[in-house]
Structure 1
């Protein structure tokens, strides 16, 4: 069993990238320069030799991982060249295709032969077509071969990686391995010391040391200041910003200041490395360890920084985790220890790789680091779970979110605890590679998740600073959420690298993405999609600008009414968007003919499932063209009455008189009955019914009502208002005022004004406005006396049938509710 320390270094580099929150595209571009846009032209002979060699290497299966990786890079170069060569002569081929199509179809068997001139021309064009298509076909065949070879190499590398994880080696719990491990490790340290002693034993090295002594002392002073005190100074600055007077952008300033808690001491580690290298006292082992000092500084101080940000000292500092003060202290210690353990892993790995430790020695040396890391990881998982389920009181910080975030934190905490236990168990059982591949990526994943959580707070604070809002209000806005979502998407390659993906795997995904996907005979690539988006966006913006110009500057100067102007504006918008779509599709080179089958299937779906939507859409277009209603019209449709406020493609919004919005589908306006009170003009009729008592002078009533109608300022005099005696009601003589108003929108207020004036004028003229009356005749009033009571004071008994006395019912209900037993109305 061989521990792949180069793999561990790659994982640690991913940790550095995760903490720095850098997108890995830059690293990927540096890792595979073979995919440069300046790729040489494909050479058929060189390609044939490379392909044959690659097939032989893959079949043999005895090449190293480094050799396979280099071979894959060469294949990727040719594959990219062949992909680009497939589009050779594309424009000329399209022209020839149009020329051949212009000649018409070839005669079918049994049909008369076409003229010789046309047949000769067709043969000539087809020969040119075959000649021009040949390079593309050869490139396509070579591309498929290269792509297959690359896929086979990837499969081989993944199988080797999986086999290394499944391989069982010596258990570090075997006591027989401990003396050898201690002896080998101490020998490496002694060799390191001996290299320094040998370097200082020669006069030349001592002379060189004296010459570089000022430079060495300068670097050592800087390193001591920056490493020992620099981080403390930056931490005090961050706490001062949070503890001082709050201002807009406090969170942003404090976050940027906190970054120097990593930058400053790492610069000190770089100065320390320069001091060691300038001394000339280090041998090969010392130089290897000295070169690792900056990486060690990044890992160590990044762990301290994450601990200070995720588990802050001050209550004023924002944190994604809600914990008690004691738990925050514990969390800071744990993250600091994790950074130290990762640093030790890097140094031990460099030393073990140089001295070629055996599998047993490597297992024994790494096992304590794995166990310590597993215990700390498990405890950190408990803290994450505690931050979710913790019930706070008034003196404790606010609890974490109780929805989706709670479930996510709970899942992360449980998986972290499981990983912290499973990693040491696997290593103890001899599966050291599996234990290392589980426990240390878990640490890096937690670091990356913590960084994303801190970046989420930073995005919120930046948004609050730019918009002049409080951080609490900014947390509810959509923009910070979208930006945080994008950051999560950009971090996915980092998660993949942490959990075992190779850089070549990511490049393969990116290559597939660049190639696009096929729709019929058309291949849509990201560049095509980007072209479509840009052209459509330009067309959409131009359309909106044209609509705004028409609506604000041009149409108001015409004699067109509001409804017509809105219809023209909406029509221009629909035509512009349709034209922008066509232009974007054409510019991107998307062939829609291949979507004919899909369009046919969609038409069937439209016919069944979307028929109501299509009906409303077509009805909306009809409304905009015919304009039976316009914005601002007073209409009545489907029992709803109100003003039209907006006409869209699918529906129309009506504002009722009680200020509620009613959304009516456009199909109801086309297929139903619509009453438009203000269509064409605002003139409308007002009807005011009036009842007077029987016995009133009808001509006098007619004259008074006519004067009231003519005196109202909203009533037009041509045609003049009229007063009609409609009939004889059960309780009154029924009159009605019929008047034409200048603006029918005021019909209710005009009717109210006339009713007030009618009451005043009728009272002055002594004309009664009656109310409903009923006469009741009691056939047997004796039943009203209490039962068993005789005549009082010797009065004679009442006759059995006395004359009925009329009882007037003034409430208009016929007295039904007050008739006792034995009485009935006549």
Structure 2
């Protein structure tokens, strides 16, 4: 009873201490805790209210995100100390339970209670921070969901149709009123005349410099390009790309200087000054889009990024310029309307003609893109080849452009002005960004070609393609922003990505993957360096053969990679104990599905350790014969005498029969069969064959060569020469030399080398006679048979020529 009361008061004390420590761990005092409570309550109340503004929600969201970050950091406080306490408790063993259990010693029990108290003291603030983090994260998600729903509702809002003439006159009146309001807006400072006198030199200087950059910037860029081409600059394509950027920067700088000159006069109001800066920005955007179109639809056939004719490229550049100019005009009109108080139908009415014109140009661009062909297609063959991925993608974008060009004016005509505005400009900007990616990818290919020296062929190399894929990934956030995704949505996605995912009790984040990759890369490089040092410097100085050296190097490589992976997992803080159950469940399926691979893997390790075969050995396995060129943990590569590679699973080399001709040494025996004609002097033949064998430099004399008369064959006396060679790899060379010498020596001694002869007799040739013959044919056949019988009688009386065995004979 007393013990339970003490534990209860101890728990209360720990709770109070934990609340104080939670505030300290979060780095906030009582006032910060109050601020969080107020902010959370205000956010929840604002979400329930229908009168909340988007601006207020955005401000409140930023505040909640800041608190959430603090809670996130607080959850990792004292993580090392908590891990240590848990390890100490695990070292004490499980606590005795049950009535018959032996109580643990008092000092162990006291130590366990003290460790549990410390652990609870550290865990309570962490748990509280985790709970508040979950609450903050839920509030942020609700705010984002509310903002997205409102954005969707705005897209579906309708305005009066711009096709009604009744709205045209009021729209023009509202535009004039807004423009007049901007013009009548007074500057912030008074004394215009005195300001003009003071700022006139600066204004004139900025104006003159701006006009010079706008009017002469393109000419100067072309002059620089021509100069580089004239002097034969190395990597001219790269320099032309870089210099072409001046066509953007110089005029854009000129537009900004003109805007600053207008602002420096002090003659305009703040809103008009903002419009000057907006005009400069839109002008720079127009220059950038034109530059992209000049790269994609280049005037030079070799520099064009897509396969189109000159007429199509010229038309595409024109329509791109038209759409860009219309977008700039639409942005300026929208800015002017925002300065006034127009009617709901005024802006859609004035924007409708611009939308229609832009849709027409976009439709024509889509038709042009639909005519893109595969650069590898040969039109003269008359057969359609499989189009490349790029060509299919461009044609798909062209069809999408045509669809958007048809749908957008219809939506605008029906009054869905916001929906129409959310389709055409974003799609056009998407095409522009993709064109920019293509241009930068081509530039990277030219740089790679200049560095490697392969020139234009680098455009089809792997690295520029990978760089283009990376650029495409980097441009994805910009594409999302173009299509209306909020910046907060992207930052929230990035936060979730950095947060990672949970596997059991472990939290794996991208930083863990980066740490894993870095540690593993370091371990892998060190392993390869040690392997190289052993292979080139250490092992050649030992008495190990080549096979043993390769086995040591290969085994060290596998051990090093395993240790590198283990160190990377440990260094990244990835706890694999939580995967033990999953791994146990999967091991059964892996055992059945990968049993051959595991068998080959174990066999490869056995081959490397026992070394029954080594690299360079001449082996025969099954019906394959050749030299071992490489032994890996899964298979062995054998190079046959036909110079073909045969991949043999290691399990076949362990469980099957393998003949190794060069294991340990290269000494081996060769057997050469020789046949002579009946009637030859066998002792003379034996002497000649022994002399030929002993005279060959590759034949060893201990043991001496053996010449054996083995069989009385059907056509010859069969001898066999058996001799041991110094290097069995020269077996075929020795056979070749031996046979040539046998022919020469037998010719000198008059010994005949026979060959088989056979006679073919037809017992009943009349059976081959046709069943029905004419009388004339029958008479002819009888005459032929009579002649054949007479010839046979003469042959029986004459001596048989084919009874003799010789180098030449007749076969009938």
TM-score by length of 2: 0.89
User: Is the 1:781–1:802 contact (alpha carbons within 8 Å) kept by the matching residues of 2?
Assistant: no
Match of 2:104 among 73, 94, 114: 114
Aligned match of 2:218 = 231
User: Is the 1:687–1:736 contact (alpha carbons within 8 Å) kept by the matching residues of 2?
Assistant: yes
Distance 1:507 1:780 in 2: 101
Aligned match of 1:86 = 75
Aligned match of 2:771 = none
Distance 1:777 1:183 in 2: 121
For residue 630 of structure 1, report the CA deviation from its aligned partner.
0.5
For residue 459 of structure 1, report the CA deviation from its aligned partner.
1.3
Aligned match of 1:216 = 203
User: Is the 1:168–1:430 contact (alpha carbons within 8 Å) kept by the matching residues of 2?
Assistant: yes
Aligned match of 1:101 = 90
Aligned match of 1:636 = 620
Distance 2:430 2:639 in 1: 55
- Equivalent residues in 2 for 1:33-52, closer than 5 Å: 41=28, 43-52=32-41
Distance 2:655 2:89 in 1: 51
Q: 1:502 to 1:777 in 2, by over 3 A?
A: closer
Q: 1:182 to 1:725 in 2, by over 3 A?
A: same
Aligned match of 1:355 = 340
User: Is the 1:464–1:470 contact (alpha carbons within 8 Å) kept by the matching residues of 2?
Assistant: yes
Distance 1:783 1:238 in 2: 96
| SS at 2:732 equivalent | helix
| SS at 1:695 equivalent | coil
Q: 1:171 to 1:787 in 2, by over 3 A?
A: closer
Give the length in aligned residue pairs.
770
| SS at 1:536 equivalent | helix
Aligned match of 1:14 = none
User: Is the 1:780–1:802 contact (alpha carbons within 8 Å) kept by the matching residues of 2?
Assistant: no
Aligned match of 2:129 = 139
Q: Does residue 1:327 correspond to 2:312, yes or no?
A: yes
Distance 1:508 1:208 in 2: 48
Distance 1:787 1:180 in 2: 120
For residue 82 of structure 1, report the CA deviation from its aligned partner.
1.0
User: Is the 2:297–2:317 contact (alpha carbons within 8 Å) kept by the matching residues of 1?
Assistant: yes
Q: 1:535 to 1:362 in 2, by over 3 A?
A: same
| SS at 1:734 equivalent | strand
User: Is the 2:177–2:340 contact (alpha carbons within 8 Å) kept by the matching residues of 1?
Assistant: no
Q: Does residue 1:409 correspond to 2:410, yes or no?
A: no
| SS at 2:673 equivalent | strand
Aligned match of 1:176 = 166
| SS at 1:97 equivalent | helix
Distance 2:375 2:598 in 1: 53
- Equivalent residues in 2 for 1:625-704, closer than 5 Å: 625-704=609-688
Aligned match of 1:185 = 175
For residue 751 of structure 1, report the CA deviation from its aligned partner.
1.2
For residue 369 of structure 1, report the CA deviation from its aligned partner.
2.0
User: Is the 1:310–1:319 contact (alpha carbons within 8 Å) kept by the matching residues of 2?
Assistant: yes
Distance 1:431 1:757 in 2: 101
- Equivalent residues in 2 for 1:751-770, closer than 5 Å: 751-770=735-754
Q: Does residue 1:272 correspond to 2:258, yes or no?
A: yes
- Equivalent residues in 2 for 1:543-582, closer than 5 Å: 543-582=527-566
Match of 1:432 among 413, 417, 425: 417
CA deviation vs aligned residue, 1:457-482 (integer Å, no higher than 9, x gap): 111111111111121x1122111110
Aligned match of 1:10 = none
Query: Aligned Cα RMSD in Å?
Result: 3.2
For residue 731 of structure 1, report the CA deviation from its aligned partner.
1.6
User: Is the 2:759–2:811 contact (alpha carbons within 8 Å) kept by the matching residues of 1?
Assistant: no
Match of 2:464 among 475, 480, 487: 480
CA deviation vs aligned residue, 1:6-65 (integer Å, no higher than 9, x gap): xxxxxxxxxxxxxxxxxxxxxxxxxxxxxxxxx975832221111111111111132211
For residue 357 of structure 1, report the CA deviation from its aligned partner.
2.5
| SS at 2:638 equivalent | strand
Q: 1:390 to 1:684 in 2, by over 3 A?
A: closer
Larger deviation: 783-792 or 480-489? 783-792
User: Is the 2:500–2:508 contact (alpha carbons within 8 Å) kept by the matching residues of 1?
Assistant: yes
Distance 1:576 1:208 in 2: 76
For residue 400 of structure 1, report the CA deviation from its aligned partner.
12
Q: 1:768 to 1:518 in 2, by over 3 A?
A: same
Larger deviation: 676-685 or 211-220? 211-220
Q: 1:564 to 1:802 in 2, by over 3 A?
A: closer
Distance 1:672 1:381 in 2: 65
Q: 1:412 to 1:778 in 2, by over 3 A?
A: closer
For residue 742 of structure 1, report the CA deviation from its aligned partner.
0.4
For residue 303 of structure 1, report the CA deviation from its aligned partner.
2.8
CA deviation vs aligned residue, 1:600-651 (integer Å, no higher than 9, x gap): 2332232111111111111111110010110110000011001111111111
CA deviation vs aligned residue, 1:390-433 (integer Å, no higher than 9, x gap): 999999xxx99922222211110010111112111111111110
Structure 1 unaligned blocks of 5 or more = 1-38, 819-826
Q: Does residue 1:148 correspond to 2:138, yes or no?
A: yes
Q: Does residue 1:342 correspond to 2:331, yes or no?
A: no
Distance 1:407 1:790 in 2: 79
Q: Which has the higher contact order (CA 8 A, sep 6+)?
A: 1
For residue 590 of structure 1, report the CA deviation from its aligned partner.
0.5
Larger deviation: 318-327 or 45-54? 318-327
Aligned match of 1:296 = 282
Distance 2:216 2:593 in 1: 71
Q: 1:811 to 1:697 in 2, by over 3 A?
A: closer
For residue 535 of structure 1, report the CA deviation from its aligned partner.
0.5
- Equivalent residues in 2 for 1:244-643, closer than 5 Å: 248-316=234-302, 318-388=303-373, 402-471=387-456, 473-643=457-627
Larger deviation: 435-444 or 104-113? 104-113
Distance 2:635 2:784 in 1: 79
Larger deviation: 678-687 or 727-736? 727-736
Structure 2 unaligned blocks of 5 or more = 1-25, 769-778
Q: 1:195 to 1:690 in 2, by over 3 A?
A: same
User: Is the 2:668–2:727 contact (alpha carbons within 8 Å) kept by the matching residues of 1?
Assistant: yes
User: Is the 1:209–1:280 contact (alpha carbons within 8 Å) kept by the matching residues of 2?
Assistant: yes
Aligned match of 1:18 = none
For residue 790 of structure 1, report the CA deviation from its aligned partner.
9.7
Distance 2:377 2:641 in 1: 51
Distance 2:622 2:693 in 1: 32
Distance 2:387 2:762 in 1: 76
Aligned match of 2:194 = 207
User: Is the 1:686–1:741 contact (alpha carbons within 8 Å) kept by the matching residues of 2?
Assistant: yes
| SS at 1:386 equivalent | coil
Distance 2:624 2:442 in 1: 49
| SS at 2:208 equivalent | helix
For residue 703 of structure 1, report the CA deviation from its aligned partner.
1.2
Q: Does residue 1:808 correspond to 2:802, yes or no?
A: yes
Distance 1:582 1:199 in 2: 68
Q: 1:653 to 1:280 in 2, by over 3 A?
A: same
CA deviation vs aligned residue, 1:356-395 (integer Å, no higher than 9, x gap): 3232112112222222221111111111112338999999
Q: 1:213 to 1:776 in 2, by over 3 A?
A: closer
Aligned match of 2:4 = none
Q: Does residue 1:128 correspond to 2:115, yes or no?
A: no
| SS at 1:63 equivalent | coil
Aligned match of 1:16 = none
| SS at 1:735 equivalent | strand
For residue 114 of structure 1, report the CA deviation from its aligned partner.
2.1
